[in-house]
Amino acid sequence: MAWALFDLDDTLIDHDSFTRFTLRLLARSPLRVAGAVALSPLVAVAFARPSWRVHAGSLLLWAGTVGVGEARLDRIVRDHVRELDVRERLRPDGAAALAAHLEAGDHVAVVTACADRLAVPLCREIDPRVRVVASTLRRAWGGLVAERHCHGARKPAMAAEAGVRGEVAAAYGDSASDAAMLDLGRVAYLVNMGGGAAERLRERLPGPDRVECVEWPVREPDTGNRPDR
């Protein structure tokens, strides 16, 4: 059986999942917000360089988790996932593509820069059969920081370590940073990527009819069936 690989953020779901979660961690107390503000000059410097952006995220994550034990953190994650209502944040066309691969007997993996602490329960809500390949975290100075970042060229290597081996029928991603993962697929689907970015990625992924551009809009809000007044 072949694999289908999906990015998570802004591909299957309609937002950057770990950024949203980090902001929730910080917003839990004025002291954590103040800590994030105090770190903001360092965050700005790190964010200005693409190769340092994971460290910028680590600084904010640390401010949000310092002093938080494992059991408490597990509860925060569970509450966040429950309140997020993951099924409502799925892009309908992405959910349909994932379901079609499972129905066809393919293995499915979500390969994401989101940290496993959040990515695993998020993907469990999407479908428990999905394998999750995600970034990892470690403890440092009483809080959490990035350990291994599942991003860019690291995605194929970390996927292979997680047991994703063999033919990849399709790969789905929304960014040029997904190029290495997309290159694994017999067909590479560029999600909501148009113009010059898509053309540049086509040049990096040669092969006749190998690259397809797809538009996956967000889910329409449920306004109910109330009659107009």
Q: Tell me which residue has tokens 């002093």.
A: 67
Mention every residue, 6+ apart, whose C-beta is less than 8 A from residue 27. Answer: 33
What pLDDT does residue 81 have?
Answer: 96
In 3D space, the residue among 69, 84, 104 whose CA is nearest the CA of residue 17 turns out to be 84
CA 87, chain centre distance (Å): 15
CA dist 101 and 33 (Å) reads 42
In 3D space, the residue among 226, 191, 135 whose CA is nearest the CA of residue 12 turns out to be 191
CA 162, chain centre distance (Å): 16
Q: pLDDT tens digits for the chain (229 residues)?
A: 899 999 999 999 999 999 999 999 999 999 999 999 999 998 898 888 887 888 889 999 999 999 999 999 999 999 999 999 999 999 999 999 999 999 999 999 999 999 999 999 999 999 999 999 999 999 999 999 999 999 999 999 999 999 999 999 999 999 999 999 999 999 999 999 988 888 889 888 988 789 999 999 999 876 555 444 3
* Per-residue pLDDT tens over the stretch 181-229: 999 999 999 999 988 888 889 888 988 789 999 999 999 876 555 444 3
- pTM above 0.85? yes
Q: Tell me which residue has tokens 């148009």.
A: 194
Spell out the domains of the chain, with CATH numbers in brackets. 3-214 (3.40.50.1000)
What pLDDT does residue 227 have?
Answer: 45
